Chains A and B, each alone.
Chain A
């Protein structure tokens, strides 16, 4: 019972300790697995003399950690672009980015511009793009050949054979597959609630098809590897990783569109190594470094020209999963307005609690 609270206070304590110990020559990075491979970290340390401490995390965890400390404890975070402004509005955990300190010419201009727009609050920009990718379906083409869209995950014949997360991408994906456009309903809570209610009903009726709701990426990969799960909703990178091991398994861009996300760089409000943070951003956006991150994370970056350095397999896998039309059909997450996540939370709780 107290575990959660302890965790919060522990984070506080550790945060306080860490900030007092860390000197200016250390960069505390709050990021995703694969975004700061050892090789890149070592090269950065060699070049700049700045130590990099990497903490692996996810969107919710990043916000929770920074919220618990009021934006201290880390010097650079990597939230998805759609989660930046709402978190900033609610909890004031970030600091605006000084775009003049960013080497804009290293970025794909359209991406930099899109992120700039999406992470803007009260005229200040809070994020620059780093890694982008999509959520869609990982399908074992042999044992579940018919799965082509999110809703196919509850097709008859798949009994306890599929898996997805009980998180907002699932709600959004199912909404699209059911012919709705949740993004356009973002600013109309009544309409959004109506969509959510439909999705809730669907997800509850789908429970029989689900083996388990996955929460860790590695768990899911294991479930698919062992054949226990035949189709899942997950990230493209996971699908490609499995494809290299098991040719039958691959990432499929759903008919109603893959969900596109961009992970950004954002400065925690009480960052203690701002210069180092900018140095890191400019460093990892170098095409050859960005390619290394693509190798390790399995996703492409917003670095201009890094494609040339990325190995052919990944490119081939990408092309196999995404036709030109599928790329156009990617649904990019717009920023989430405040209040929506609470509505989604209640739906997810009810799905979890439902019994067939």
Chain B
């Protein structure tokens, strides 16, 4: 009797997540894959076709948009890591007492408002008549108003800002588990600060670095609002392309194909990243 009870209980516990996974993740993806493999022949009639996929590779626009999105996401991930690492190290290893939760909170605070509000915040700061531009003029450093929006650099700033927390959290938790005496031991044995980082801290934090990078990369790649709003006329982000296909072009077939391609290509990039850093996915995500 007992084990059966247990099984029933387990099934009950797993039901919500299984329902969630099948109804909201698996089914839509299957549906999306099926839609992506058809072509509109005339009003209301469709036929099987690979044309949506070949369009991605033959139309340089789509391919270039994807490459640009991927490259910028990788850059944003690297930049986030570069900025988040010292912060995480400080939180995990240097800060003591009340300072620690306070710093962590500071990283968390921007996430109490929605992404849209945050992005508009950046727009208020950076627009031509915005806070920063006015400040620079008031200081006399520039002659006229400067437009800081609608540039790739602005997109980058927005993406890094949005991703910071998702890098800091895994980094702090792995760095937290690093025994201080390992750092001291390396230092004691004659290592410079840089060597201590390279030989002890970074190898230990590697799973955190990789998992943070995966999360940030996927979030960045899938981001829609930040590149669209901050990038303006030159934003050109792949998710924007998907959105356009679905919503303004009513071309679900092409949009689905892009969605599937994004899934496959981003997984491929993550896989290559894991191979290059010699980490396994199970280890990184545990």
Contact = CB atoms under 8 A, between A and B. Distances in A.
B28 interface: yes
8 contacts: A6-B28, A8-B28, A9-B24, A212-B233, A226-B127, A338-B43, A349-B244, A353-B64
B244 A345 contact: yes
Given A4-B224, A89-B43, A213-B233, 5 more contacts: A1-B266, A4-B243, A5-B256, A6-B28, A353-B64
B147 A160 contact: yes
Interface of A: 1-9, 60-61, 63-64, 67, 87, 89-92, 160, 167, 207, 210-213, 226-228, 338, 341-342, 345-346, 349-350, 352-353, 355
Interface in B190-244: 221-222, 224, 232-234, 236, 238-239, 241-244
B123 to A, nearest CB: 9
B28 A5 contact: yes
Chain A's interface: helix, strand, loop or mixed, by majority?
A: helix
Contacts of B61: 349-350, 353
Given A212-B150, A349-B241, A60 B233 contact: no
Nearest to A8: B246
B251 interface: yes
Given A64-B246, A353-B64, A3 B251 contact: no
Contacts of B274: none
A8 B129 CA distance: 37
A353 B65 contact: yes
Contacts of A67: 250, 252
Contacts of A226: 127-129
Contact of B222 (A3, A9, A167, A213): A3
B32 A212 contact: no
B221 A3 contact: no
Given A63-B250, A352-B233, A1 B129 contact: no
Interface of B: 24, 28-29, 32, 40, 43-44, 59, 61, 64-65, 127-129, 147, 149-150, 221-222, 224, 232-234, 236, 238-239, 241-252, 255-256, 259, 262-263, 266
Q: Which of A7, A63, A91, A352 has the most CB of B within 10 A?
A: A352
Contact of A4 (B59, B147, B236, B239): B239
A195 B183 CA distance: 69
A2 B233 CA distance: 23
B158 to A, nearest CB: 14
Contacts of B236: 352-353
A51 B149 CA distance: 43
Contacts of B32: 5
B232 A211 contact: yes
Contact of B28 (A9, A89, A350): A9
A21 to B, nearest CB: 19
B245 to A, nearest CB: 8
B44 A92 contact: yes
Contacts of B247: 4, 60-61, 64
B98 to A, nearest CB: 38
Contacts of B149: 212
Nearest to B230: A212
A207 B233 contact: yes
A213 B248 CA distance: 15
A341 B249 contact: yes
A151 B211 CA distance: 51
A63 B248 CA distance: 9
Contacts of B262: 1
A354 B181 CA distance: 55
Contacts of A5: 28-29, 32, 246, 256, 259
Given A90-B44, A345-B248, A213 B239 contact: no
B33 to A, nearest CB: 11
The 5 nearest A-B residue pairs measured at CB: A212-B232, A345-B249, A1-B222, A1-B262, A60-B248
Q: Which of B28, B263, B266 has the most CB of A within 10 A?
A: B28
Contact of A342 (B29, B44, B251, B266): B251
B154 to A, nearest CB: 11
A2 B128 CA distance: 33
A2 B259 contact: yes
Contacts of A350: 61
A227 B224 CA distance: 27
Contacts of B245: 345
Contact of B128 (A90, A91, A228): A228
A228 B127 contact: yes
A113 to B, nearest CB: 26
Nearest to B240: A352
A342 B233 contact: no
Q: Which of B233, B238, B259, B262 has the most CB of A within 10 A?
A: B233
A16 to B, nearest CB: 12
Contacts of A160: 147
Contacts of A227: 129
B43 A90 contact: yes
B250 A341 contact: yes
Given A1-B239, A1-B263, A1-B266, A211 B248 contact: no
A9 B234 CA distance: 29
B174 to A, nearest CB: 27
Given A60-B248, A212-B233, A226-B129, A3 B243 contact: yes
